[in-house]
Amino acid sequence: MKPPRLKGGALTAARMAAENPATSAILGDVLKQSLGLDRLAVLPQSARGALGLDVTPVRAKAEPRALPHDGLSPAARKLWPRAHEDVAAAFSEKKVAPLELTERSLRFLRQLASNRVLNVLVCEDEARSRAEAKAAQERHAAGRPLGPLDGVPYLVKDELDVRGLPTRIGTLCEPETPKSEDSTVVARLARAGAVFVGKTVMTQWGMSPLGQNPAYKMPTNVHHAERAPGGSSSGSAVGVAIGAVPFAVGTDGGGSVRIPAALNGVYGIKPTFGRVSRAGSLSGSVGHIGPLGASPGDLAAFLDAVASEPDPADPHTRAALPPPQGGFGARLGAGVKKLRIGVIESEWADASSPVAAACRSAISALEREGAEIVRVTLPIASVAAPIGYLTIGCEVLAAHAHAWKTQRELIADDLRLSFAVLSGISALDFLDAQLLRATLRLEAARALADVDVLALPTTATTAPPITVHERGRSFADTEAIDAMCRFNFLGNLTGLPAATAPVGVDDDGLPIGLQIVGDAWDEHVILGLLAHLERMGVGAVVKPKAALDLLG
C-alpha cells in the first residue's frame, strides 16, 4: 500500500521526521517500500551480475538486420503541428522570413510567461535570438541555407549551458553566474543554423517526473490545467505541445524526456547513452540529452545536427557507432514490413486500462502493416524502476551534497524528504542495485537479439491530477511518481535508445504515449517506426485549446 499524497503541514512533518536521526529510519522504510526498493533485497543471487561500472550500452546484434525500405511518402500533416519541415517550406516559399518567425516565437513565449499556468521560460537572450535569426535570413536570401534547421527556433532545458546565461537546473542553489561557453549540443545547433529562443523551466535538479517546482513558475499540462505536465523537461514539452517551437532540447535520467512528451502528447527520444555529447550539461550514469518534437522528423533532424560526430569533451561519445547511411532519418519512409516488435507481456499488467488499450491498438495497427509481433521475456524489467530510483537518487545527492549540507533551506520539502531518505541508503544497497543493473543490461540485450525493438507503454497512467491549491507548492506522491517512471528506467539503466509517440487519449482528452526501445545505436530504426505511426494517423499530436500557430 502506497502512502497518500503528502502536502502542506503533512509534508513538512514527514520531511522533519526524515531529517531527524531518531525517526528517519522508520519513515525511510515506509517510503522505500512505497517505491518498491524492498523488492530488490529478496531477489535471488542469480539475478545479480558482475560489478562492472562500465555504462557503454550492450549491443544485441553484431550486425544490423537487413530490413526492407518501402520508400513511403511522409505523413500528410495539415495545419497542425508545425514541424521543422513546414517551417523550412515556408522559408523556401517566402511565406515568412526567419527573423519574422523568431519574433513570433519570442512573442508567443512572452504571452505564455504572462499566463498563470503555461509559462515555459526561465530566461532568454533576445539579442542572441535576433542575431541568429538575422544571419539565417541572410543565408536563405542568398539561397545558401545551412540545412533543414537553418532559421528554425528551438528551446533548451535549463540543464544545458548557454553562453551568457546562468544554468540553474531548476534550483535556487545553483549560482546565477552566466556561462562563458555553449554546451556542445547548443553549439552544434547554432552551427546548423537553428535559432535559440529561450531556456525552459524544469524540476529541481531533475528529480521530479511530475513537473512541480515551487522555486519557479511552472506550467500545467497543456491539455488540462489541473493535470501534471510531467518532468523534468516540463517547459520543453509544453513549449513544443503548444506550438511555440517545432522542437526543444530536454534531458532524461529516468524518463524526463519521454514522460512530459507523453503526457502532453508530442514525440520524444532518449538516444543511446554516448550518442549525444553531454559536455556543458548533466553527468551521472543514467542521464541523456534528447529532443522533444512535433514529429519524428524533428527528432531525426536534431540528431543529425548534434550527434553525427564524437565530441572530444565527452569521452562517452567515442563508443558511438557512426550514424546510419542517410542520417538518422534514413528509415522515416521505410514502413514496418518484417520489423520484429518484442512485447514483454509481464510489463503490461501495471498499465491502466486506457493506456494499455491505446498502446495495444497501436501495436495491432503496426502488425496489420506488416510488422511481426513477438512475445519476449525480460523478468528483471519489473524492478527496473526501484533500481533506477536508487541509482539516480544517490548520484544526484552525491553531486549536490554541498548544497544539501549548506543550502538546505533553499530546497523544496518534497526533495528534502527524498534526499533525507537517500542519505540513509548504504553503499551496500547502492552497489547491490548496480549488480542487478548489470543483469538487466545483459537480459535486455538477449531480448533484443531476436527482435528489432521492444514496445511498452511510456507511462502507467495519463497525467496525474494537480489541484489549484497544489499548484506552485511542494507535494510528495510516490504512487504518481511510480506511475510515471514504471516503464522508463529500462532505457536509462541499459543506455538503450527509447522514444515515445502519442497514440491516443483517455476519456478526459489526456494523451497516451507508446514507448519503443531499440538496440544500442539503432535510433533510426525507432524513428522509422514512429514515422509509420504518424503516417497511419495512429501517432498524432493533438492540438490543445491554447495552441499557437507559428505559420498562421
Half-sphere exposure of 75 (CA within 13 A, CB side): 29
Q: ω before 310 within 30° of 0 (cis)? A: no
Note whether 266 and 290 are within 8 A (CB). no
Instruction: Break the chain into its structural domains and give their ranges.
Output: 10-74+83-536
Is pLDDT of 284 > 80?
yes
Neighbours of 376 (CB within 10 A): 18
Q: What's the mean pLDDT when you consider all of the chain? A: 95
Rounded Cα distance between 437 and 427, Å, is: 15
- Tally of residues, the chain: 552
Q: Which residues are catalytic?
A: 157, 232, 256
pLDDT in tens, 69-83: 999 999 987 778 999
Residues 6+ apart with CB under 8 A from 550: 82, 87, 101, 104, 105, 108, 153, 243, 244, 245, 246
Q: Using 50, 70 and 90 to split pLDDT, how confident is the model at 2?
A: confident
- 32-41, 223-232, 393-402, range with the lowest pLDDT: 32-41
Rounded Cα distance between 417 and 28, Å, is: 9
- pLDDT at 28 (0 to 100): 81
Is pLDDT of 41 > 90?
no
pLDDT in tens, 509-538: 999 999 999 999 999 999 999 999 999 999
Segment 189-212 mean pLDDT? 98
| Beta strand pairing call for 153-157 and 195-200 | parallel
* DSSP-derived secondary structure for 475-492: EE-HHHHHHHHTTTHHHH
- pLDDT at 51 (0 to 100): 66
Rounded Cα distance between 443 and 447, Å, is: 6
Rounded Cα distance between 299 and 80, Å, is: 17
Half-sphere exposure of 283 (CA within 13 A, CB side): 10
Q: Using 50, 70 and 90 to split pLDDT, how confident is the model at 436?
A: very high
Options 2.102.10.10, 3.90.1300.10, 2.60.40.420, 3.90.1010.10; CATH for 10-74+83-536 is 3.90.1300.10
